[in-house]
Structure 1
């Protein structure tokens, strides 16, 4: 790949890294008994659904390749992930017509918001592995959301629930000054920009 090709994949104000920096708020959860982990699909659905870890691990998986961009100005190109497509998870629920937004709920009360159309993109998925290895606890084990077209804080680590909503509401970082949407190509880092 030429330098020009690489440069065209890096949003303004970002710098490339070959590492995978670890950034989060609070303590890292460590799971010892996976029977205690599940994923809930709730809110504006005909019926709430709970998917156990054992059930989640039996879902069909795909390989996804993307670039990721952190609000702290690093970008990492050519990430290869293994995960479950959003479309696969959506087969388990029937949305009510007023559902327009998603709130992702993670461990320790952490949340982030997304428009429904961004959650449903075929590039968004539930990640289990990164570059051939299971996610580490620091990177979101057992399951993290990946929404690669937005800043990486929208890719919630330690995912536990997807709440479908009629209205947008700020999540943890959005309440603390981050932009409500987070498009890296528009440098939507903070709410005052």
Structure 2
């Protein structure tokens, strides 16, 4: 169902993609070590690639873009779904407005700690409800779940919702991110079960 998937008000059974099981927990899955941030004054967020002017923002500058609240369902490629997640964070539109993206940009690559990356079409990145989250269900993100900043794109499998995100690269052509280089699907639509490269 992709970008048009409606969640609010729909029965739970109509909100869970094929071969997913609903959990009330919040499983922790990631590759590598959890970053430690002793001082966010040293933290930066970069917008680069096919943009009119590259931007490097401090954490405080990013927070000044304003906050939004969204509620959505998330679906992990490993088979769990968590419904009615409340997120607080910076709307994607506010971030993109700073970048002044060039017309030739058709995709984005999210860059996160430890060289981790995730790719997606620009149209999906810009979908309504996507957010650079700082809080989940009213609480600050824990380190395991991406503190201080996690991108959230609920209509794709949750590996696309990069933890510890540090920047966005706008590109003309799609290129695989970390998990895509390791056999995961380039797009990752949970409603089509696009888990792996051969799906």
**CA contact under 8 A between 2:63 and 2:90: conserved in structure 1?**
no
Shift of 1:153: 0.2
- Distance in 1, matches of 2:18 and 2:138, equals 29
Match of 2:157 in 1: 151
The alignment status of 1:109 with 2:86, answered yes or no, reads: no
Aligned residue among 36, 49, 68 for 2:55: 49
The count of corresponding residues between Structure 1 and Structure 2 is: 190
- Distance in 2, matches of 1:20 and 1:143, equals 17
**CA contact under 8 A between 2:86 and 2:136: conserved in structure 1?**
yes
- Distance in 1, matches of 2:124 and 2:140, equals 25
- Distance in 2, matches of 1:32 and 1:126, equals 21
The alignment status of 1:6 with 2:12, answered yes or no, reads: yes
Match of 1:63 in 2: 69
- Distance in 1, matches of 2:129 and 2:66, equals 16
Q: Which moved more, 1:138-147 or 1:50-59?
A: 50-59
Other structure's SS at 1:32 match: coil
TM-score by length of 1: 0.97
Cα shift readout 1:65-90 (whole Å, capped 9, x = no counterpart): 00000000000000001011101111
Match of 1:100 in 2: 106
Match of 1:124 in 2: 130
The alignment status of 1:82 with 2:102, answered yes or no, reads: no
Shift of 1:59: 2.2
Q: Stretches of 4+ moved more than 4 A in 1?
A: none
- Distance in 2, matches of 1:61 and 1:148, equals 18
TM-score by length of 2: 0.94
- Distance in 1, matches of 2:193 and 2:97, equals 34
- Could you list the runs of 5+ residues in structure 1 that have no partner in the other structure? none
